[in-house]
Amino acid sequence: MRNKQLDELGVSAFCESMAMMVRSGIQTDEAIALLQSENRDGGILTQSLGEMKTLVEQGSSLADSMKSTGIFPDFAVQMIEAGESSGRLENVLFRLSRYYAGQKTLSEKLRGAVTYPAAMLLLIIVVLAVMLAIVLPAFRAVYDRLTGSLAASSYAYIRWATVFCTVALIVMAVLFCLLVIGMLLWKSGKRGAVLKVLEKIPRCNAIINNNALYRFTSALGTFLASGEMQDEAVLASIPMAGSEKLEEKLLSLAKRMEEGHSISQAAYDEELFEPVYGRMLLAGERSGSLETVLERLTQLLEEDGAQQVDRLVEIVGPALSGVLMVTIGLTLISVMLPLIGMMNAIG
């Protein structure tokens, strides 16, 4: 079994291709063979398609063949297995394609939201280091060569500029280190510790809650599309949220459903969604179009998440740029004012 897994975009493309071929009436082994002929880049998918084709020809299901390769996420394998058993494979494949495409979009958004501030912090650190190592010492050397009352006041300005740059450099360096540590912890699988810190920041907390709700709603819609019962679909979708805070609310929702409430009523009572979204879900279930409404809610939550990330970047970017400009401006003013005073005194 391979350790490396297919990324979200690869899973999305695979599911979409399989869904279109299933819709066309192509048998599973023939569909895998066609995919194998189209993928000759030598990647992990190309290497696994041959193994999958052999297993399917020997009587294995598509889900079992995918599981044996080890390159597909457990959630995708579980959904396809449910889709095969319920006869809704085509629908499940299309939903999985949209789900992983949405996950890829959100991942790129979040990656950009982290990369841009990190680049700005690094730029600020470099500029401040240059100011402290080159610019300020150069002006100090000029003032050292001057004597008398003209140069006496200049040292106070230089000292204040040095202190200001030093403090700003330390603060920016600490922020940069925290950001890098957070990224390393996230990649190493210790996401819980990072999320606990981010949840204390209001805007970050809103993004985390929205993304967790998006993952749950998308998984719930996929489970229902695969033929799962509502209560079983809710319980199976809870781990996909990835948020302890939301999972507590979802467990309470599941308990309400055990008491006889419908999924939409339980979600509305628990205030799982915003009121307008909750009413959409109620209307959808009463009209028999619950899956359609869930799909629409998933799209809305994805759009909301992307907009929240964009707004956060729009705030952080100008704020860091402002810090950079203010720091450079105050430093230059502090070292130029004495020169201006000297020129006026001499002239």
Provide the pLDDT for residue 172.
87
Structure token pair of residue 284:
């959808």
- Residue that finishes a domain, picked among 60, 83, 101: 101
Q: Which residues contact 188 (CB under 8 A, 6 or more apart)?
A: none
- Residue that finishes a domain, picked among 65, 84, 101: 101
CA dist 341 and 153 (Å) reads 10
Q: Which residues contact 75 (CB under 8 A, 6 or more apart)?
A: 219, 240
Residues 82 and 180 in one domain: no
Model pTM greater than 0.75? Answer: no
Provide the pLDDT for residue 338.
65
Residues 91 and 112 in one domain: no
In this structure, is residue 196 part of a structural domain? yes
Q: Are 237 and 251 in contact (CB under 8 A)?
A: no
29: containing domain = 8-101
Residues 76 and 165 in one domain: no
CATH number at residue 211: 1.20.81.30
Residues 197 and 324 in one domain: yes
Residues 95 and 120 in one domain: no
Residues 341 and 207 in one domain: yes
Residues 320 and 184 in one domain: yes
Residues 67 and 207 in one domain: no
In this structure, is residue 2 part of a structural domain? no
Residues 64 and 169 in one domain: no
pLDDT tens track of the chain, all 347 residues? 445 778 888 888 888 888 898 888 888 888 888 888 876 666 777 778 888 888 888 888 888 888 888 888 888 888 888 788 778 888 888 888 888 888 788 777 777 778 888 888 888 888 888 888 887 787 777 766 765 544 555 566 777 778 888 888 898 899 888 888 888 887 776 767 777 777 787 878 888 888 888 888 888 887 887 777 888 888 888 887 877 778 888 888 888 888 888 888 888 888 888 888 888 888 888 888 888 888 888 888 888 888 888 888 778 778 877 877 887 787 777 767 666 656 665 55
Domains identified in the chain, total number: 2
- Residue that finishes a domain, picked among 101, 120, 135: 101
